[in-house]
């Protein structure tokens, strides 16, 4: 884990206001940031440095940073300890969002941490896109959940055991004999109501391995009793319908809030936040809103894509701008930017100046700090390619193409796609864009689908990824390794960057910290 997250002296601010991620807020030395900003940087780094796995192995997840909200919470605690940030750090299970039923149970965890004055902050670094995920908020100003239960001591040990059950069942590593033993191990968890969500899921999974019909039936009944709302077989249909109705009401409220916000003032970051809530909750009722891609794993959700995955897969983004189609140079650009078509992993077309159908977001406003200046120039067809090519090679090809194509249009007025007159500014209408590193690639691959972006331009990008790419390029040039060999090379590059420096070994692990 401590290889994927920057050491203290590697936390460098972004000082150029024209870079993609300038509005992350980390624009001066880390020590000069206020407490909330420091927490947000930690939050951003943990989220984007993970590979999401809903059913992670609790024995290895923090070390590998492959996991879910539990993994993220524990990793956040370790990183806060390493950086020496915060007091009274707690690993908590969160229950009842404002639009949840009163008796809902939960399996979602986050971190609570106090500043020097005793103010408590909520930190949710889960590697998914959803309500309050990725947020740092002061609890006196906002209560994202109505209840937080501290996980420690016996409850922590029980949770760890239940996560082990869920992992083994989901990966096909359970059998009938083991299932019987695990039932005894997790039985004490029923003394902790805040663990009901996990207990319910464990009992359901374990029941699938039990052959005795009576025991199997009792396990299923108890599972439903502990969590009637979960989308597992045999749940209370009426309760599930009720929960769905509350979500619909909340979506309506968010839409009203979004419309009111747009009428009152320009705040793209707040619009973005509300739109993501609307879209992600709507996906629960309409699976057609989910987009999937064979990257990292088959049929992976694009909302699960992180910069860590992009660097491990060795992918970058090439985008043909509307000016390429206007000048009819799109085929030549594709040929020279991506000469080997086998390296194209995925592609799609979009108009980045058009409003999104469900949320009315305009993608260009969310792609760059000066996106509003590009909106008219980006009206028209764009094509986005995800390719296995080094950023350095794409950059070289891009510079040559921009210098040689469309010279006759420079500084001339032309009738643009929307019928307006536009002056051909080569800085705006420069035909093709390619990404510089994994963080920007993760953002710009989803440029036309902002509601599903995990990496946004308001996050601080992990500074290690670009250094890793530079080291690999210096070593291999255009013939980059892929697959497991690439992961090994990334690991070695991180060692080289850190100078083999590990975090202070006296810093307690999250598990030791919680139980001490």
Q: Which CATH number describes the domain made up of 8-151?
A: 3.10.620
Q: Give the pLDDT mean for 389-410.
A: 93
Q: Give the pLDDT mean for 493-509.
A: 71
CA neighbor of 437 nearest in space, from 19, 13, 86, 1: 19
Dihedral angle sign, alpha carbons of residues 244, 246, 248, 250: negative
Give residue for tokens 């650009």. Answer: 333
Q: Return the higher-pLDDT residue of 308 and 1.
A: 308
Burial of 417 (0-12, 13-18, 19+ CB in 10 A): middle
At residue 511 the predicted structure's pLDDT band, cuts being 50, 70 and 90, is: confident
Per-residue pLDDT tens over the stretch 241-267: 899 999 999 999 999 999 999 999 889
Q: Give the pLDDT mean for 290-294.
A: 93
Asked whether the beta carbons of 75 and 65 are under 8 A apart, the reply is yes
Fold adopted by 300-469: Alpha-Beta Plaits (3.30.70)
Q: Does residue 489 have a pLDDT over 70?
A: yes
Give, for 216, the enclosing helix (H) or strand (E).
helix 213-226
> Distance between the two ends of the chain, CA-based, in angstroms?
21
The pTM of this model reads 0.94
Q: Does residue 235 have a pLDDT over 80?
A: no
Q: Give the pLDDT mean for 469-474.
A: 96
The span from the CA of 401 to the CA of 405, in Å, is: 6
What percent of the residues of the chain are helix, what percent strand, and what percent coil, each to the nearest 5? 50, 15, 40
Per-residue pLDDT tens over the stretch 6-58: 999 999 999 999 899 999 999 999 999 999 999 999 999 999 999 999 999 99
Asked whether the beta carbons of 278 and 451 are under 8 A apart, the reply is yes
Q: Does residue 276 have a pLDDT over 60?
A: yes
Per-residue pLDDT tens over the stretch 131-170: 999 999 999 999 999 999 999 999 999 999 999 999 999 9
At residue 427 the predicted structure's pLDDT band, cuts being 50, 70 and 90, is: confident
């Amino acid at each position: 884990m401590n290889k994927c997250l920057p050491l203290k002296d590697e936390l460098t601010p972004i000082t150029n206001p024209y870079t993609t991620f300038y509005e992350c807020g980390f624009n001066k030395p880390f020590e000069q940031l206020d407490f909330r900003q420091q927490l947000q940087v930690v939050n951003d780094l943990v989220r984007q440095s993970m590979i999401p796995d809903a059913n992670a192995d609790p024995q290895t997840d923090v070390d590998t940073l492959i996991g879910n909200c539990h993994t993220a919470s524990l990793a956040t605690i370790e990183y806060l300890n390493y950086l020496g940030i915060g007091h009274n750090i707690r690993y908590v299970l969160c229950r009842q969002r404002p639009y949840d039923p009163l008796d809902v149970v939960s399996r979602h965890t986050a971190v609570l941490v106090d500043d020097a004055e005793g103010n408590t902050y909520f930190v949710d670094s889960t590697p998914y896109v959803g309500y309050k995920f990725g947020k740092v908020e002061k609890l006196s100003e906002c209560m994202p959940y109505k209840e937080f239960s501290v996980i420690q001591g016996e409850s922590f040990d029980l949770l760890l055991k239940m996560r082990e059950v869920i992992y083994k069942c989901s990966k096909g590593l359970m059998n009938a004999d083991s299932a019987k033993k695990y039932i005894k191990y997790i039985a004490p968890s029923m003394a902790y109501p805040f663990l009901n969500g996990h207990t319910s899921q464990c009992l359901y999974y374990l029941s699938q391995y039990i052959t005795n019909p009576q025991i199997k039936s009792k396990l299923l009944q108890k599972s439903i009793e502990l969590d009637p709302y979960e989308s597992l077989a045999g749940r209370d249909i009426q309760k599930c319908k009720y929960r769905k109705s509350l979500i619909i009401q909340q979506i309506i409220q968010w839409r009203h809030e979004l419309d009111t916000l747009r009428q009152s003032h320009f705040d793209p970051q707040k619009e973005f936040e509300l739109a993501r809530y609307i879209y992600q909750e709507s996906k629960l009722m309409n699976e057609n809103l989910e987009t999937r891609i064979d990257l990292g794993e088959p049929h992976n959700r694009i909302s699960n894509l992180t910069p860590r995955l992009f660097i491990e897969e060795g992918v970058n983004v090439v985008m043909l701008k509307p000016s390429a189609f206007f000048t009819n140079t799109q085929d030549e650009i594709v040929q020279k930017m991506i000469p080997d078509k086998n390296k194209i992993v995925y592609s799609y077309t979009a108009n980045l100046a058009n409003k999104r159908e469900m949320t009315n977001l305009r993608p260009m406003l969310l792609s760059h700090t000066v996106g509003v200046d590009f909106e008219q120039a980006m009206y028209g067809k764009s094509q986005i390619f995800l390719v296995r090519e080094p950023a350095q090679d794409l950059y070289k090809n891009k510079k040559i193409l921009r210098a040689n194509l469309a010279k006759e249009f420079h500084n001339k007025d032309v009738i643009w796609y929307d019928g307006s007159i536009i002056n051909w500014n080569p800085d705006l209408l420069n035909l093709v864009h390619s990404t510089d590193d994994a963080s920007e690639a993760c953002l710009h691959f989803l440029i036309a689908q902002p509601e599903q972006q995990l990496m946004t331009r308001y996050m601080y990008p992990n500074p290690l990824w670009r250094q890793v790419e530079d080291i690999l390029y210096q070593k291999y040039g255009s013939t980059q390794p892929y697959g497991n060999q690439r992961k090994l090379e990334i690991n070695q590059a991180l060692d080289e960057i850190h100078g083999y420096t590990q975090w202070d070994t006296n810093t307690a692990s999250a598990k030791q910290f919680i139980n001490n």
